[in-house]
Amino acid sequence: MSNSYRTIILARMGEIALKGLNRGKFERQLMDNMRWRLKEYGAFSIVQSQSRIWIEPKDVNPDVLEDKETAELVLNAVTQVFGLVSASLVRKFSGDMETIKEQALKLTEDILAEHDYKTFKVESKRGDKRFPLASPEICAREEMYVYSEKVEGHRGLPVGTAGKGMLLLSGGIDSPVAGYMMASRGMQLEAIYFHSYPYTSERALEKVKDLARIVSQYSGTILLHVCNFTDIQLNLYKNSPQDMLTITMRRIMFEIAEELANKQGCKCLITGESLGQVASQTIEAIQITNEVVKTMPVFRPLIGLDKEETCNISRRIGAFETSILPYEDCCTVFVAKHPKTHPQKKHIVEAEANLDIEALVKQGVEGIETYKIERTSKN
Ligand code: ATP
Ligand code: MG
């Protein structure tokens, strides 16, 4: 008995289906993103029909999905594209009715054995409701699609439908999650990392690149801008009071990030701040840091999450293991013993009296080096 099936993938669209007039734009972006995400696995025909998407290997590589391991990888890649609620590996049977029956029976036996299931139910659906037959009659047609499992997608909206944001990416747990969350709303990402070499090691930068690479599985390519922050920090260290160091440092970071964001066409800043988590994240500290950003919103998607919830998302997107690797970040090196947790305006005026902020921001922006980070890149 020869195989009369091919393995293909069925993906199901989520929120996009609710879009009104510009639904077409969202769908086109989703299809582009899927093509981009799958290109490393071979050539696929990706066809949309209503709220379903059918992914089928092209003739140049007809068997890519017949290997179980590869099929799982491709399925996983599909579920990482924002805009999909779920996806399944599907056996597409064709041939005469007898052959289809035999093959379907064999497949069912395999599935039952693999999972040790005792009972099962067969359902048939018409993907295209305009089709004139009722569902039971479709089972009499000579092509049949069979699947037994659904893998959850990451939902959201296709990246590229909501402009671009500048993520302040550190080596911690929070900021990669923040980037992932904004990307899930359709936002393309660039990122800036403030590097304090040699106070922080080369490894710390490598870790940030690794995290950007993990986020890029979902968000697509990320331009990672690395700002050499050491001289600026030493300047602040010398010329500004210890207990305000965290705040003055964060204000300069935000100003540099905003200037770069404007240069790059980003429409917002994104941070991993969560209210009350650490001294620099009291409402007063956030207010005083926020006020330096004049031209765009600062999004803090984790503001209302507790650490446990953030860690869960971090695990789910595969960032956690990398985030907890013990490389120091720039804030821990220059951190004061007793930072002011409820800074007031007058404190910041005093703290910045001896600083040439404009010159420091300019210095920061001019020293930026940029890397292109992609899932498959090794830089
Ligand atoms: P994370 O887990 O993201 O490192 P955190 O809990 O350590 O955050 P902070 O160190 O106070 O908190 O940083 C708050 C936010 O400021 C970070 O989520 C990130 O968006 C930004 N940030 C902090 N340090 C850096 C850095 N060196 N480069 C770029 N952004 C940074
Ligand atoms: Mg941190």
% of the chain exceeding 90 in pLDDT:
69
Distances (CA, A) of 304 to 63, 269, 340: 47, 17, 22
Helix (H) or strand (E) run with residue 355 in it: none
For the CA of 271, the closest atom of ligand 1 is 20
Q: Distance between CA atoms of 57 and 60, rounded to whole angstroms? A: 8
CA-proximal residue: ligand 1, atom 30 (nearest): 168
Tens-digit pLDDT profile for residues 59-97: 999 999 999 999 999 999 999 999 999 999 999 988 777
pLDDT level of residue 136 (50, 70, 90 thresholds): low
Q: Model pTM?
A: 0.92
Task: Identify the residue whose tokens are 């609710």.
Answer: 18
Query: Which of ligand 1's atoms lies nearest the C-alpha of 191?
Result: 29
Our answer on whether the CB atom of 352 is closer than 6 Å to any ligand 1 atom is no
Ligand 2 centroid from CA 172, angstroms: 5
pLDDT at residue 350 tops 70: yes
Residue 255 backbone dihedrals phi, psi, to 5 degrees? -65, -40
Stretch among 59-63, 80-84, 129-133, 252-256 having the lowest mean pLDDT:
129-133
What's the confidence (pLDDT) of residue 336? Answer: 73
pLDDT of 207: 96
In this structure, the residue with its CA closest to atom 22 of ligand 1 is 170
